Amino acid sequence: MEDTLLNWVVMIDISLQKILKSSTGEMKLDLKMQFEEGKLITIYGKSGAGKSTLLMLLAGLMNPEKGYISMGKDVWTDTSKHIFLPPQKRNIGFVFQEYALFPNMTVRENLCFGLGKGQPKAIVDKLVDIIDLGQLQNRKPNTLSGGQKQRVALARALVSQPKMLLLDEPLSALDHEMRLKLQSYILEVHREFGLTTLLISHDVSEIIRLSDFMIEMDQGSVVRQGIPADMFTNDRVNAKFQFTGEVIGMVKQDFIVIVTVLIGKDLVKVIANDQEASSLEIGDKVLIASKAFNPIIHKIS
Protein backbone atom coordinates (compact mmCIF):
# COMPACT_ATOMS: atom_id res chain seq x y z
CA MET A 1 0.00 0.00 0.00
CA GLU A 2 2.69 2.52 1.00
CA ASP A 3 4.57 2.34 -2.23
CA THR A 4 1.40 2.51 -4.34
CA LEU A 5 0.59 5.80 -2.62
CA LEU A 6 4.08 7.09 -3.27
CA ASN A 7 3.76 6.23 -6.93
CA TRP A 8 0.52 8.18 -7.27
CA VAL A 9 -1.47 5.16 -8.20
CA VAL A 10 -5.20 5.72 -7.97
CA MET A 11 -6.88 3.03 -5.96
CA ILE A 12 -10.42 1.89 -6.45
CA ASP A 13 -11.92 1.13 -3.10
CA ILE A 14 -15.12 -0.84 -2.76
CA SER A 15 -17.15 -1.93 0.22
CA LEU A 16 -20.70 -3.03 -0.47
CA GLN A 17 -23.47 -4.75 1.40
CA LYS A 18 -26.80 -5.77 0.01
CA ILE A 19 -29.37 -8.50 0.57
CA LEU A 20 -30.07 -10.23 -2.72
CA LYS A 21 -33.36 -11.98 -3.16
CA SER A 22 -33.60 -14.73 -5.72
CA SER A 23 -35.73 -17.76 -6.44
CA THR A 24 -33.43 -19.88 -4.28
CA GLY A 25 -33.72 -17.60 -1.26
CA GLU A 26 -31.82 -14.73 0.23
CA MET A 27 -28.09 -14.16 -0.01
CA LYS A 28 -26.07 -11.52 1.70
CA LEU A 29 -23.67 -9.74 -0.57
CA ASP A 30 -20.79 -8.47 1.50
CA LEU A 31 -17.85 -7.33 -0.56
CA LYS A 32 -14.65 -5.52 0.23
CA MET A 33 -12.00 -5.03 -2.39
CA GLN A 34 -9.32 -2.68 -3.55
CA PHE A 35 -7.44 -2.56 -6.78
CA GLU A 36 -5.28 -0.23 -8.80
CA GLU A 37 -6.62 1.91 -11.59
CA GLY A 38 -5.49 0.83 -15.03
CA LYS A 39 -5.45 -2.89 -14.33
CA LEU A 40 -7.40 -5.67 -15.98
CA ILE A 41 -9.18 -7.53 -13.23
CA THR A 42 -11.15 -10.74 -13.56
CA ILE A 43 -14.01 -11.66 -11.30
CA TYR A 44 -14.23 -15.42 -11.07
CA GLY A 45 -16.75 -17.62 -9.32
CA LYS A 46 -19.75 -19.88 -9.58
CA SER A 47 -22.98 -18.59 -11.02
CA GLY A 48 -25.05 -16.97 -8.33
CA ALA A 49 -21.96 -15.75 -6.47
CA GLY A 50 -23.01 -12.13 -7.01
CA LYS A 51 -20.56 -11.23 -9.80
CA SER A 52 -23.08 -9.52 -12.08
CA THR A 53 -24.56 -7.71 -9.09
CA LEU A 54 -21.13 -6.29 -8.32
CA LEU A 55 -20.94 -4.83 -11.84
CA MET A 56 -24.47 -3.41 -11.56
CA LEU A 57 -23.56 -1.76 -8.25
CA LEU A 58 -20.38 -0.32 -9.75
CA ALA A 59 -22.31 1.08 -12.70
CA GLY A 60 -24.92 2.63 -10.41
CA LEU A 61 -27.72 0.52 -11.88
CA MET A 62 -28.36 -0.88 -8.40
CA ASN A 63 -28.12 0.57 -4.93
CA PRO A 64 -26.29 -1.04 -2.03
CA GLU A 65 -27.95 -1.02 1.36
CA LYS A 66 -24.67 0.00 2.93
CA GLY A 67 -21.22 0.79 1.62
CA TYR A 68 -19.13 2.96 -0.61
CA ILE A 69 -17.39 3.00 -3.97
CA SER A 70 -14.58 5.42 -4.56
CA MET A 71 -12.15 5.86 -7.39
CA GLY A 72 -9.26 7.87 -5.97
CA LYS A 73 -10.86 11.10 -4.80
CA ASP A 74 -14.10 10.58 -6.72
CA VAL A 75 -16.85 9.09 -4.64
CA TRP A 76 -19.54 7.27 -6.65
CA THR A 77 -21.51 5.76 -3.83
CA ASP A 78 -21.45 6.41 -0.11
CA THR A 79 -24.53 5.40 1.80
CA SER A 80 -23.33 7.07 5.02
CA LYS A 81 -23.33 10.46 3.23
CA HIS A 82 -26.30 9.66 0.99
CA ILE A 83 -24.12 10.00 -2.09
CA PHE A 84 -25.37 8.07 -5.05
CA LEU A 85 -24.04 9.17 -8.40
CA PRO A 86 -26.49 8.14 -11.14
CA PRO A 87 -25.19 5.77 -13.87
CA GLN A 88 -25.33 8.61 -16.40
CA LYS A 89 -22.59 10.48 -14.52
CA ARG A 90 -20.17 7.65 -13.74
CA ASN A 91 -18.70 7.46 -17.23
CA ILE A 92 -18.48 3.72 -17.36
CA GLY A 93 -18.44 1.42 -20.34
CA PHE A 94 -20.61 -1.64 -19.84
CA VAL A 95 -20.78 -4.72 -22.06
CA PHE A 96 -23.85 -6.71 -21.12
CA GLN A 97 -24.01 -10.48 -21.30
CA GLU A 98 -26.83 -10.40 -23.84
CA TYR A 99 -25.14 -7.55 -25.78
CA ALA A 100 -28.09 -5.10 -25.32
CA LEU A 101 -27.62 -3.55 -28.77
CA PHE A 102 -30.53 -1.31 -29.73
CA PRO A 103 -32.44 -3.26 -32.42
CA ASN A 104 -33.93 -0.10 -33.96
CA MET A 105 -30.54 1.35 -34.82
CA THR A 106 -27.80 0.31 -37.24
CA VAL A 107 -24.38 -0.58 -35.91
CA ARG A 108 -23.12 2.93 -36.58
CA GLU A 109 -26.20 4.52 -34.99
CA ASN A 110 -25.69 2.31 -31.94
CA LEU A 111 -22.17 3.68 -31.60
CA CYS A 112 -23.16 7.29 -32.27
CA PHE A 113 -25.90 7.07 -29.64
CA GLY A 114 -23.12 6.95 -27.03
CA LEU A 115 -21.64 10.29 -28.09
CA GLY A 116 -22.08 13.12 -25.60
CA LYS A 117 -23.40 16.49 -26.68
CA GLY A 118 -20.92 18.14 -29.05
CA GLN A 119 -18.50 15.22 -28.84
CA PRO A 120 -16.77 14.81 -32.21
CA LYS A 121 -17.48 11.65 -34.19
CA ALA A 122 -13.78 10.89 -34.58
CA ILE A 123 -13.91 8.42 -31.70
CA VAL A 124 -16.57 6.38 -33.53
CA ASP A 125 -14.37 6.11 -36.60
CA LYS A 126 -11.39 5.21 -34.45
CA LEU A 127 -13.29 2.41 -32.71
CA VAL A 128 -14.72 1.13 -35.99
CA ASP A 129 -11.14 0.95 -37.15
CA ILE A 130 -9.67 -0.78 -34.08
CA ILE A 131 -12.46 -3.33 -33.74
CA ASP A 132 -12.85 -3.90 -37.51
CA LEU A 133 -16.48 -2.92 -37.84
CA GLY A 134 -16.13 -1.19 -41.20
CA GLN A 135 -18.16 -3.78 -43.10
CA LEU A 136 -20.92 -3.94 -40.51
CA GLN A 137 -21.66 -0.26 -39.98
CA ASN A 138 -24.96 -0.12 -41.83
CA ARG A 139 -26.31 -3.48 -40.64
CA LYS A 140 -29.00 -3.85 -37.98
CA PRO A 141 -27.99 -5.87 -34.87
CA ASN A 142 -30.44 -8.71 -35.65
CA THR A 143 -28.50 -9.56 -38.80
CA LEU A 144 -25.21 -10.06 -36.94
CA SER A 145 -23.62 -13.20 -35.51
CA GLY A 146 -22.90 -13.50 -31.78
CA GLY A 147 -19.26 -12.55 -32.16
CA GLN A 148 -20.10 -9.57 -34.34
CA LYS A 149 -22.70 -8.35 -31.85
CA GLN A 150 -20.16 -8.67 -29.06
CA ARG A 151 -17.62 -6.61 -31.01
CA VAL A 152 -20.24 -3.89 -31.59
CA ALA A 153 -21.16 -3.95 -27.90
CA LEU A 154 -17.49 -3.58 -26.96
CA ALA A 155 -17.01 -0.66 -29.35
CA ARG A 156 -20.21 1.01 -28.22
CA ALA A 157 -19.18 0.82 -24.56
CA LEU A 158 -16.05 2.81 -25.38
CA VAL A 159 -17.60 5.67 -27.37
CA SER A 160 -18.05 7.87 -24.33
CA GLN A 161 -14.33 7.33 -23.57
CA PRO A 162 -14.91 5.84 -20.12
CA LYS A 163 -12.22 5.32 -17.54
CA MET A 164 -13.68 2.02 -16.46
CA LEU A 165 -14.91 -0.86 -18.60
CA LEU A 166 -17.17 -3.54 -17.15
CA LEU A 167 -17.65 -6.79 -19.08
CA ASP A 168 -20.26 -9.28 -17.91
CA GLU A 169 -19.18 -12.68 -19.25
CA PRO A 170 -18.67 -11.19 -22.67
CA LEU A 171 -17.17 -14.26 -24.28
CA SER A 172 -19.09 -17.14 -22.77
CA ALA A 173 -21.39 -17.64 -25.76
CA LEU A 174 -18.67 -17.61 -28.40
CA ASP A 175 -16.77 -20.42 -30.07
CA HIS A 176 -13.08 -20.86 -29.42
CA GLU A 177 -11.74 -18.96 -32.40
CA MET A 178 -14.05 -15.99 -31.90
CA ARG A 179 -13.10 -15.98 -28.26
CA LEU A 180 -9.41 -15.62 -28.97
CA LYS A 181 -10.12 -12.81 -31.40
CA LEU A 182 -12.26 -10.92 -28.92
CA GLN A 183 -9.74 -11.43 -26.15
CA SER A 184 -7.17 -9.66 -28.29
CA TYR A 185 -9.61 -6.80 -28.97
CA ILE A 186 -10.26 -6.45 -25.25
CA LEU A 187 -6.54 -6.37 -24.47
CA GLU A 188 -5.96 -3.88 -27.27
CA VAL A 189 -8.60 -1.37 -26.14
CA HIS A 190 -7.65 -1.86 -22.49
CA ARG A 191 -4.14 -0.68 -23.31
CA GLU A 192 -5.02 1.87 -25.99
CA PHE A 193 -7.50 3.77 -23.78
CA GLY A 194 -5.77 3.21 -20.42
CA LEU A 195 -8.86 1.58 -18.97
CA THR A 196 -9.54 -0.03 -15.67
CA THR A 197 -11.26 -3.19 -16.85
CA LEU A 198 -13.37 -5.60 -14.82
CA LEU A 199 -14.19 -8.82 -16.57
CA ILE A 200 -16.38 -11.66 -15.41
CA SER A 201 -15.07 -14.96 -16.69
CA HIS A 202 -15.20 -18.67 -15.96
CA ASP A 203 -12.48 -19.64 -18.37
CA VAL A 204 -9.14 -20.33 -16.71
CA SER A 205 -6.96 -19.90 -19.79
CA GLU A 206 -8.80 -16.69 -20.63
CA ILE A 207 -8.24 -15.32 -17.14
CA ILE A 208 -4.56 -16.21 -17.18
CA ARG A 209 -4.05 -14.75 -20.63
CA LEU A 210 -5.91 -11.47 -20.02
CA SER A 211 -5.84 -10.39 -16.47
CA ASP A 212 -3.37 -8.73 -14.13
CA PHE A 213 -5.35 -9.51 -11.03
CA MET A 214 -8.16 -11.81 -10.15
CA ILE A 215 -10.84 -11.87 -7.51
CA GLU A 216 -12.72 -15.04 -6.69
CA MET A 217 -16.21 -14.71 -5.28
CA ASP A 218 -18.48 -17.21 -3.64
CA GLN A 219 -21.83 -16.75 -1.89
CA GLY A 220 -21.61 -12.97 -2.14
CA SER A 221 -18.13 -12.57 -0.66
CA VAL A 222 -14.56 -12.39 -1.86
CA VAL A 223 -12.92 -15.70 -1.06
CA ARG A 224 -9.51 -15.24 -2.67
CA GLN A 225 -7.66 -12.64 -4.69
CA GLY A 226 -4.26 -12.46 -6.33
CA ILE A 227 -2.25 -12.91 -9.50
CA PRO A 228 -4.14 -15.39 -11.70
CA ALA A 229 -1.20 -17.59 -12.60
CA ASP A 230 -0.43 -18.12 -8.91
CA MET A 231 -4.01 -18.69 -7.93
CA PHE A 232 -4.64 -21.42 -10.42
CA THR A 233 -1.31 -23.15 -10.03
CA ASN A 234 -0.04 -22.78 -6.48
CA ASP A 235 -2.85 -24.30 -4.55
CA ARG A 236 -2.43 -27.88 -5.63
CA VAL A 237 1.36 -28.07 -5.54
CA ASN A 238 2.40 -31.34 -4.06
CA ALA A 239 6.15 -31.92 -4.39
CA LYS A 240 5.96 -31.37 -8.10
CA PHE A 241 5.59 -28.57 -10.58
CA GLN A 242 2.21 -28.14 -12.07
CA PHE A 243 0.87 -25.65 -14.56
CA THR A 244 -2.26 -25.28 -16.57
CA GLY A 245 -2.10 -24.04 -20.11
CA GLU A 246 -3.55 -24.32 -23.52
CA VAL A 247 -2.33 -26.35 -26.47
CA ILE A 248 -1.60 -24.01 -29.34
CA GLY A 249 0.49 -26.21 -31.62
CA MET A 250 1.57 -29.83 -32.26
CA VAL A 251 4.42 -30.92 -34.50
CA LYS A 252 5.22 -34.60 -35.13
CA GLN A 253 8.91 -35.48 -35.27
CA ASP A 254 9.91 -39.10 -35.76
CA PHE A 255 8.49 -40.99 -32.79
CA ILE A 256 7.53 -38.04 -30.70
CA VAL A 257 5.22 -35.05 -30.91
CA ILE A 258 6.31 -31.61 -29.76
CA VAL A 259 3.35 -29.90 -28.14
CA THR A 260 3.48 -26.13 -27.74
CA VAL A 261 1.57 -24.97 -24.69
CA LEU A 262 0.72 -21.44 -23.69
CA ILE A 263 1.15 -21.06 -19.94
CA GLY A 264 0.35 -17.59 -18.73
CA LYS A 265 2.12 -15.40 -21.24
CA ASP A 266 4.90 -17.92 -21.94
CA LEU A 267 5.18 -20.60 -24.60
CA VAL A 268 6.43 -23.94 -23.38
CA LYS A 269 7.37 -26.93 -25.52
CA VAL A 270 6.59 -30.34 -24.11
CA ILE A 271 7.36 -33.73 -25.58
CA ALA A 272 4.55 -36.21 -25.83
CA ASN A 273 4.41 -39.70 -27.27
CA ASP A 274 2.03 -40.70 -30.06
CA GLN A 275 -0.47 -42.13 -27.66
CA GLU A 276 -0.59 -39.01 -25.48
CA ALA A 277 -0.72 -36.73 -28.49
CA SER A 278 -3.62 -38.61 -30.06
CA SER A 279 -5.91 -37.44 -27.27
CA LEU A 280 -4.89 -33.81 -27.66
CA GLU A 281 -6.24 -31.14 -29.92
CA ILE A 282 -5.31 -27.53 -30.44
CA GLY A 283 -7.28 -25.45 -27.97
CA ASP A 284 -7.39 -28.13 -25.25
CA LYS A 285 -6.68 -27.08 -21.71
CA VAL A 286 -3.91 -29.20 -20.27
CA LEU A 287 -2.09 -29.70 -17.05
CA ILE A 288 1.67 -29.96 -17.25
CA ALA A 289 3.23 -31.52 -14.22
CA SER A 290 6.66 -32.77 -13.41
CA LYS A 291 7.99 -34.75 -10.50
CA ALA A 292 10.65 -32.41 -9.20
CA PHE A 293 13.53 -34.88 -8.85
CA ASN A 294 16.08 -32.62 -10.39
CA PRO A 295 14.74 -29.15 -10.97
CA ILE A 296 17.19 -26.73 -12.50
CA ILE A 297 17.89 -23.69 -10.42
CA HIS A 298 19.26 -20.77 -12.33
CA LYS A 299 20.26 -17.50 -10.72
CA ILE A 300 18.77 -14.58 -12.58
CA SER A 301 19.96 -11.61 -10.53
Partner 1 sequence: MIDWNPLFLTFKLALITTVLLLIISIPLAYWLAYTRSRIKPIAETLVSMPLVLPPTVIGFYMLLAFSPSNAFGDWLDQWLGIRLVFSFEGLVLGSLIYSLPFMVHPIQAGFANLSPSLQNASYVMGKSKLTTLMRVLLPNMKPSLLTGIILAFAHTIGEFGVVLMIGGNLSGKTRVASIAIYDEVESLNYAAANSYSLILFGITFIILLMVYLVNGGYFTKLGRDD
What distance in Å separates the CA atoms of residue 62 and residue 58, rounded to the nearest whole number?
Answer: 8
Taking the complex as a whole, the smallest distance from the CB of residue 274 to partner 1 amounts, in Å, to 49
Contact 167, 197 (CB under 8 A): yes
Kindly tell me which of 43 and 157 has the beta carbon lying closer to partner 1. Answer: 157
By C-beta, is 156 or 190 nearer to partner 1?
Answer: 156
Which residues form the interface with partner 1 (CB under 8 A)?
A: 56, 59, 61, 86-94, 96-98, 100, 102-104, 113-114, 116, 140, 142-143, 156-157, 159-160
Nearest CB to partner 1, comparing residues 100 and 280: 100
CB of 123 to partner 1, least distance (A): 13
Shortest distance in whole angstroms from residue 115 CB to partner 1: 9
Nearer to partner 1, 161 or 242 (CB): 161
CB closer to partner 1, 64 vs 114: 114
Question: What's the closest the beta carbon of residue 208 comes to partner 1, in angstroms?
Answer: 29
In the complex, least distance from residue 139 CB atom to partner 1, rounded to whole angstroms: 11
Q: How far is the CB of 8 from partner 1 (least distance, A)?
A: 28
Pick 81 or 89: Cβ nearer partner 1:
89
Min separation Cβ 66 and partner 1, Å: 20
Q: What secondary structure, in 3-state letters, does the chain show?
A: CHHHHHCCCCEEEEEEEEEEEECCEEEEEEEEEEEECCCEEEEEECCCCCHHHHHHHHHCCCCCCEEEEEECCEEEEEHHHCEECCHHHCCEEEECCCCCCCCCCCHHHHHHHCCCCCCCCHHHHHHHHHCCCHHHCCCCHHHCCHHHHHHHHHHHHHCCCCCEEEECCCCCCCCHHHHHHHHHHHHHHHHHCCCEEEEECCCHHHHHHHCCEEEEEECCEEEEEECHHHHHHHHHCCCEEEEEEEEEEEEEECCEEEEEEEECCEEEEEEEEHHHHHCCCCCCEEEEEEECCCCCCCCCC
Select 141 or 245, whichever has its Cβ closest to partner 1.
141
